[in-house]
Structure 1
Amino acid sequence: MTVIKPSHFVVVPTAMWGHLRPLLHLSLNLLTLHPNLHLTLLVTPSVLPRVEHELKSTSFAHIYTKSPSGSGTSTPNPNVHHTTAQEQAQEDKAIADRLQVITCISPEFDMPKEWSPEVIAQEGMDYAKTLPKFLQALASKEHKLDGTENKFEDIAPNFVVYDSFLHFVPEVVRGVLTGLQKPMIPLIAFIPSNAAATWHTFAKEENGGTFTLAQRLIDEDIANGMDVLEAHGKHAFGTYGKVKTIPGLPPKFDYEWWPNFATVPMPPQAFMGIIPSAKAIRDPAVSGIVCPTTAETEPLAVEALEKEMGFRIYMAGPQFPDAAWAGEHPEPQAQNADDANVFAFLDKMKKKHGAKSVIYVSLGSLFFPVTRPELIRYILQSLKESGFPFIFAYASQMASLPEDLQKELNDDEDSCVVKFAPQWDVVNHEATGYFLSHCGSNSTAEAMLAELPMVSMPFAADQGEFTAMLSEVYKVSIDLKQVKTFKSPDFNKLYDGTVVVGTEEAIKAELKQTWDTLRGPEGEAMRARMRDLKAVIKKSWADGRSKKDMLALGTCFE
């Protein structure tokens, strides 16, 4: 008789929702695919409510029961071959029984009434300090974890999946297991990005890696007497006017990969916290990287990344629940006044303008053109003048909307402005036809699955790489060029010869041309190409590289 041995993995996420959400979805999908897996998710208090809300959403109803009809009988996982009744029983077990979410924080941490960036930074330091105690309790199979019951006290962790920006995790895990006289377990670094951007970030300096170059320059400046913060601020997303070619993408000047970072007042402390990850990811205990993107869409970048890192790259594909892959979209439920406003607006626009008429504008929850707020004014006014109905969500904590512009848009029935929008519901509404985005990983994946042509306004991080792939390789997006704002005023020419004038007149002319293109034959051609791209991604998830790597990831410790 074949007996499936239970296994247990620990997820160590960062508190940034754009990173945590796809990692959470990855973890749940692994539980669905591997009935022997058990998961402990160690989170901070600030993100716990969002995690709990996500777990209870209609999209993840399957984590509480495998019975879609409520009849009490479960549906076997078609991806697992059952040879015994015991194996079938293991699959039938509700996924929630194999999941525990534990708040990892010290008793000394003073819980705030409201979460500010400063308090979240303190929380992050406390999390790093407290993490060893929780990992030790899990590895020792203790019954209690600082007062919280350990559901899996009989199963020691087999592997750890951690956010790559938490560079201290390899050292912490090694220290805990060494102290317990236990062998090291595999560590898998999670990077919520594509292979091209991961290569660009983590390659060695001589191969074009940005973090390793920045670290060397920072170290040199500090050795020459420069203040630590000043050195990090100087070289954060540094650009030098050199041509940079990333595998699978067209050549560009280095400043084009971070085209609007100059509009974001990012403190140097943020860069200090992430740049050591370039060294930590090459720790001997790290045996792989998992990216929630599709290998078949960027084969050259995947090949280059595997060669560069020398270990396995798990190209797991975009992480969505089963219902999303099946094309199911449950009736959206408003959680607050903003949600209700958005849903009512979309229903109204469908009646007034028809299906696929609305453009959704969102630059994510982090980035915003703070030093050039007029860019937002130009975009929204241009949409209004064009008669293009739109939703604008300005979720970033740095974002604000001038009162006069807010009033102007409030008086326009074809405009809807909210702080937060339920993005998955918005992009899948019948009225939504297009998406103006910063092209972060999550937004890009959601646009692909919703088959929405895009307009790109990238800032930094991996957004330039996603934009190049979407606009120049697959031609499913239009990249806005006149809004680009580089750190040096000397950089005003793109590799393709375009001169960035950047005036109101030049920006609005480009915007008008963009709206006209979306409404014309090319807009429909973009939609058809996005539909083809989605088919590639979906096939990979069903029986391609994504499926293969998800299966392998769940057994990486064997």
Structure 2
Amino acid sequence: MSLPNQSPKNIFFFCIPAWGHSKPVVALASKILESRSDLSITFFTFGTVYPKILDEIEKIPDGKSLGMREDMKKRFLVIDVCGMVFNPVVPVPAFTPAFEALWKGEPIKCLSSGKEHTNLARPCVAILDPFAGYAIEAIRDITLPYPNGPLPMIGWLTASAGAGLRILGPKEVGGIGLSGRLDMKTIRYGTEQEVMPLMGAFSYSCTGEVVSIPGVPTMYDYEYNPQELTMNASILEEIGRVYISHFDGVLFASAASYDKDALKTIEGWLGEGDVFPVGPLSTATQEKTTTSSREDLLKVGDGDDASQAKAVEFLDRMEKKFGEKSVIYISFGSLFWPVEEDKMWATIEEFLANDVPIVFAHPSPFKKPVSEEKLRSLRENPIAIEFPWAPQETILMHPATGWFISHGGWNSTQEAFVYRVPQILWPFAADQPYNSALMSQVHKAAFELINVRTGQYGTQLPYRFKDLAKSEQPKFTVDAVRKEIDDLLVKLKGDEGVK
């Protein structure tokens, strides 16, 4: 797709207030700006992620010429127009007048910095989150009549291609498919009081149907719901299904080396010239090495100074005592959290009982208050450390870190790739079950925990175990979790773990 002839060209970005959607924007923007000196980028965002985006920009390398980062920062304008909004489901009324001001060349005030931005170029293309339906509709209305219709819009999918197929695709390609029950008024103008009761209204009703997605191990449909959830945002997925096929093209933060078969299927669905794999996306410049210096680790900039220093001190100590690749890092991302915490604590206790050091992060705002007694036991244990928000890249870069227990979200998976830390996967929802199956069964590059599954769907028999004797099938109990961890430790230290 060619862009309209306009100079200087301004690319507009917007995505929902989720860090996994916002963080990769910085990596992609840096690549775009480095390749084209005649471009600028305007990124509308939220106060909840604004400071983290600025921190991420500081990690952009200087590039081929001195001062590249400073030049790019001048052309990459991050503007908080939405304020301290966390809920990604509810439409944000502030977006429409802010974009209208941008389109008309009027001043726009950043709510976080207080700075007023003036003389911004009118966008020539918008790169948009398919889950932000209200923004898509507003841009369409504001930019009509454009020379040949509304402003060109490109979808921004910060997930692997196969996960996009399952969550957003039609039934004929293995997707859930549209329900047709979501009305435009809710998408565009729904209030929190109107939207929140609908959070689970568009959940897929699992029937035990066998799902086959190109390049992915066959699974029962209920295996895409392996955990009981503290929140259900099925309405968000339904919004994505409404808009994904309406874009002029779709950017996937993935690569053919990861899920090429799914990408081919998506090209057949959306159009061969309309699918653009642009990942993995990361601003990281240093891969995990055995010689990462303390200075390198402390300047990564993915946490406050105190938490980074605390993490590095602990990991230095563990490396000295247990050696390289001895520590297991545990984090379920910024949103997800186990409902059955007994299984989580059983996992942690089993590692510690076997003298395996751990770093435990618990940032989810949807979790119940974490037991102070449990946290105190970690603080008092010489081979454990806990963080409400851990400096993840600093931890993954450290040579002491050997494994990463992750929910399998795409951001965490990409960072695991960059720092070459293999994963032990504990998926919850969204793209995570797909990533976990692909990594553990196709690429043979991860382990997946099974007995940790919970809820009505999670504790049904997985397809991969259907031919086993009942005595060998998963039990989904706390005792079964403990045994699975013990068996896993044998694998980690054996040939399979080395591979």
- So what's the TM-score if we normalise by structure 1? 0.77
Q: Note the residue ranges of structure 1 that are not aligned, 5 or more in a row.
A: 68-73, 76-91, 106-110, 220-226, 526-558
The sequence identity of aligned pairs, in percent, is 26
Paired residue secondary structure (2:344): helix
1:266 aligns with 2:231: yes
Aligned residues of 1:364 and 1:396 also touching (Cα < 8 A): yes
The match for 1:379 is 347
Shift of residue 180, structure 1, vs aligned partner: 7.4
User: Is the counterpart of residue 416 in structure 1 residue 385 in structure 2?
Assistant: yes
CA distance in 2, matches of 1:384, 1:179: 64
The match for 2:357 is 389
Q: Is the 8 A contact 1:100 1:151 kept in 2?
A: no
Give the C-alpha shift of residue 132 in structure 1. 2.4
5+ residue gaps, structure 2: 184-193
1:504 aligns with 2:478: yes
State whether structure 2 residue 254 is matched by structure 1 residue 293. Answer: yes
Tell me what 1:98 maps to. 75
Alignment partners' CA distance in 1, 2:487 and 2:265:
37
Number of residue pairs the alignment of both structures matches: 468
Alpha-carbon deviations, 1:481-522, whole Å to 9, x = none?
111124248723434326321122211111111111111222
Evaluate the alpha carbon distance shift between residue 242 and residue 183 of structure 1 in structure 2; reply closer, same or farther with a 3 A threshold: closer
Q: Paired residue for 1:398, among 355, 360, 366?
A: 366
Q: Specify whether residues 203 and 476 from structure 1 end up closer, same or farther in structure 2 by C-alpha distance, changes over 3 A only.
A: same
**In structure 2, C-alpha distance between the alignment counterparts of 1:230 and 1:242, rounded to whole Å:** 28
Kindly state the Cα deviation for residue 410 of structure 1 after the two structures are TM-superposed.
Answer: 2.4
Tell whether the 8 Å contact from 1:7 to 1:158 is kept in structure 2 after alignment.
yes
User: 1:28 Cα shift?
Assistant: 2.4
**1:338 aligned partner:** 307
Alpha-carbon contact 2:407-2:427 (below 8 Å) kept: yes
Q: Is the 8 A contact 2:40 2:76 kept in 1?
A: yes
Select 2:419's aligned residue among 450, 469, 472. 450
Structure 2 counterpart of 1:210: 176
Deviation of the 1:432 alpha carbon: 0.6
Find the aligned partners of 1:346 and 1:489 in 2 and give their Cα distance. Answer: 34
The separation in 2 between residues aligned to 1:365 and 1:308, in whole angstroms, is 32
Q: 1:139 aligns with which of 103, 118, 122?
A: 103
Q: Retained in 1: the 8 A contact 2:297–2:312?
A: no
> Is 1:441–2:410 an aligned residue pair?
yes
Give the letter aligned to residue 345 of structure 2: R
Map 1:519-558; keep pairs closer than 5 Å.
519-525=493-499
Tell me: CA distance 1:326–1:447, structure 2 relative to 1, closer, same or farther (3 Å): closer
Q: Tell me the equivalent position of 2:438.
A: 469
- Once the two structures are superposed, residues 167-205 of structure 1 have per-residue CA deviations (whole angstroms, 9 ceiling, x without a partner) of 223321111012678842221111110010001112113
8 Å CA contact 1:456, 1:480 repeated in 2: yes
Structure 1 segment 297-312 matched on structure 2, within 5 A: 297-310=258-271, 312=274
CA distance in 1, matches of 2:251, 2:420: 25
Name which of structure 1's ranges 495-504 and 169-178 shifts more when overlaid on structure 2.
Answer: 495-504
Amino acid in the other structure paired with 2:497: G
Determine if the alignment matches structure 1 residue 515 to structure 2 residue 498. no
Are the aligned partners of 2:15 and 2:45 in contact in 1 as well (CA < 8 Å)? Answer: yes
Equivalent residue, structure 2, for 1:128: 92
Q: Among residues 205, 210, 217, which one is paired with 1:238 in the alignment? A: 205
Counterpart amino acid of residue 155 in structure 2: A
Structure 2 residue aligned with 1:531: none
> Does the 8 A contact of 1:257 with 1:464 survive in 2?
yes
Determine which of 461, 480, 498 is the counterpart of 1:492: 461
The residue aligned with 1:540 is none
Distance 1:464-1:491 versus aligned 2 partners, 3 A rule: same
Are residues 1:281 and 2:249 paired?
A: no
**Residues 468 and 273 (structure 1 numbering): CA distance in 2 closer, same or farther, change over 3 Å?**
closer
Q: Which residue of 1 aligns with 2:56?
A: 54
Q: Offset of 1:25 from its aligned partner?
A: 2.2
Listed as ranges, the matches of 1:122-201 within 5 Å are 125=90, 128-143=92-107, 149-150=116-117, 152-153=119-120, 155-178=121-144, 183-201=149-167
Whole-angstrom CA distance in 2 between matches of 1:322 and 1:340 = 19
Q: Normalising to structure 2: TM-score of the pair?
A: 0.86
3-state DSSP of counterpart to 2:330: strand
1:211, CA displacement in angstroms?
4.6
Separation in structure 1 between the aligned mates of residue 410 and residue 238 of structure 2, nearest angstrom: 20
Return the alpha-carbon distance in structure 2 between the equivalents of residues 211 and 254 of structure 1: 13
